[in-house]
Structure 1
Amino acid sequence: MEPSTGIREFLTTRRARITPQQAGVVPDGGARRVPGLRREEVARLAGVSVEYYTRLERGRAGQVSETVLDAVSRALQLDDTERAHLFALAKPASPAQRRRPLGPQRVRPGLHRLLDTLGHVPAMIQGRRMDILAANRMARALFTDFEALPHRDRNLARYVFLDAHAPELFVDWERSAGSCIAHLHWYAGRNPHDPQLTDLIGELSLRSPRFRHLWGNPDVVCHSMGTERFHHPLVGDLALDYEVLDVSGAPDQTLVVYTPEPASPSAEALSLLGSWTGDTATDARGHASSSPRPTSS
């Protein structure tokens, strides 16, 4: 995704969602041709010229100071994640950065052991682009046996949009799919020249009409916690809280752990799922597998 396209879509939609009343702007009484704020109103709120804000929105402002970006963030009432995304979009990559390929991601042996220690709940190591770098048996039982897939297919967004069983597993599939889109936008703002991201977006756009439609929404999100509801074909309904934790010493890797409320029906269902998986990986369709662990992606 070209940075100029990303910042244009992001800023346009951010100002479209804010009414003059929400921004404290007194309407001039004339007919408004655009939803939300006009460019000149954002520029006035941010304390910059209309011409400069227009260049910024079009991705043509060159080096933008943090002071200006802070002012625009306040004018558009961006939250912390959106503000960080704006800073990432406005920071042009150097030619060296655009040429530098991202190396493979490797999961430390200690992290594999940690996943095994968490064997009673689903846990995964997630990398760039929502790649699944490692998953314990309970994660493979809940979702699918990622470790049995080719390396390039071990990706949560691919699973959500391309696996025929994903809409059955996620109770609110539309919300989960939207979260994947928002996370990929967040990642794209930081790595706009990642060729594997370009390939992923191209593949999903080609193969999933729903992805093509949702990708036009430039919302961004970087979830650190939440609740996901599932309907598993073997054990029925589960409501699981998830925590996303940065892995120390491993850039772009996070530990994602799903846990049920103690003594709840979800805890009982998860325990039953665990008793059925035993020492082998059983995916969400009940297929057993015992694939070797991946070490890179």
Structure 2
Amino acid sequence: MARIVEGMPGLPAYVMNNRLDTLAANPLGRALYSEMFADSACGANVARFAFFSPAARRFYADWEHMARFAVGALRIEAGRSPYDRELSSLIGELSTRSDAFRVMWGSRDVYVFRESTKRLNHPLVGDLELDQETMSLPDESGLSVVVYSASPGTAAEDGLKLLGGWSATTGQEQDVPLTDRLP
């Protein structure tokens, strides 16, 4: 999985588990989510980033939509894996540290979306309208590969190129060695 993600240098890509932990990311994926990776409180977890980091409310153009997705995904996983201690700990941590999570979790909604476009606001390159594809592995691992792309000739395509150059010149790709987290 890590080699496949690393083999897509022109597209931001990462591997995620059902607890929304980012287990591996290519350099452009790390550059796109640089604020999440830089925040040690997030632990490369999308839900922690969404609910604990003030940067997430700027990064996700529709933060509430993303936050509800995270809650829904964790609720589904809690139903599938009720004895997963790491998942229970994550839900407990989110519940005790985030009023927004606690309210959304308490509503008992399962809000899952499979949209093909995501709007992100990156601190270095601004607004990016990206196509998102999430491919779940057909096994019991719970792993998914998330890949973003930009339409040719758009500002988002230019933004991804700038991010790629930034990550190459700053050594960003070396900052977060995640590939050892894959099962």
Shared topology, TM-score over 0.5? yes
CA distance in 2, matches of 1:114, 1:249: 17
Q: Is the 8 A contact 2:6 2:25 kept in 1?
A: no
SS in 2 for 1:212: helix
Matched residue type, 1:117: G
Paired amino acid for 2:181: S
The aligned residue for residue 233 of structure 1 is 123
Alpha-carbon deviation of 1:219? 2.4
Contact 1:183 1:222 in 2 (8 A): yes
Aligned residue for 1:296? 181
Of 146, 149, 159, the residue aligned with 1:269 is 159
Write the deviation string for residues 114-171 of structure 1: whole angstroms up to 9, x where unpaired: 1121121210101121111111111111113766777x82311111111221111111
For residues 147 and 234 of structure 1, do their structure 2 counterparts lie closer, same or farther at Cα, with a shift above 3 Å needed? closer
Structure 1: runs of 5 or more not aligned: 1-110, 283-288
For 2:37 and 2:137, how far apart are their aligned partners in 1? Answer: 20
Partner Cα distance (1:125, 1:163) in 2: 21
Q: Deviations over 1:209-246 (max 9, x none)?
A: 11111112222255454221111110010011111112
- Cross-structure match for 1:96: none
Match of 1:278 among 140, 147, 168: 168
Larger mean CA deviation between 231-240 and 190-199 belongs to 190-199
Change (3 A) 1:265 1:148: closer
| SS at structure 1 position matched to 2:15 | strand
Distance (whole Å) between structure 1 residues aligned to residue 100 and residue 177 of structure 2: 33
Alignment equivalent of 1:122, drawn from 5, 9, 12: 12
Structure 2 CA distance for partners of 1:149 and 1:171, relative to 1, 3 Å:
closer
| Kept after mapping to 1: 8 A contact 2:21/2:45 | yes
Over 3 Å counting, the alpha-carbon distance change for 1:148 and 1:276 in structure 2 is closer
Q: Which runs of 5+ in 2 are unaligned?
A: none
* Structure 2 CA distance for partners of 1:232 and 1:149, relative to 1, 3 Å: closer
- Rg bigger for which structure? 1
Aligned to 1:77: none
Higher relative contact order (CA 8 A, sep 6+): 2
What number of residue pairs does the alignment pair up? 181
**Residue 106 of structure 2: aligned partner:** 216
Superposed CA offset, 1:144-201 (max 9, x none): 3766777x82311111111221111111111111111111111111112211111111
Normalized per residue, the structure richer in strand is 2
Q: What is residue 65 of structure 2 aligned with on the other side?
A: 175
Normalized against structure 2, the TM-score is what?
0.87
From 181, 188, 197, the equivalent of 2:87 is 197
Letter in 2 for 1:255: V
In the superposition, the TM-score normalised over structure 1's length comes to 0.55
Letter in 2 for 1:232: H
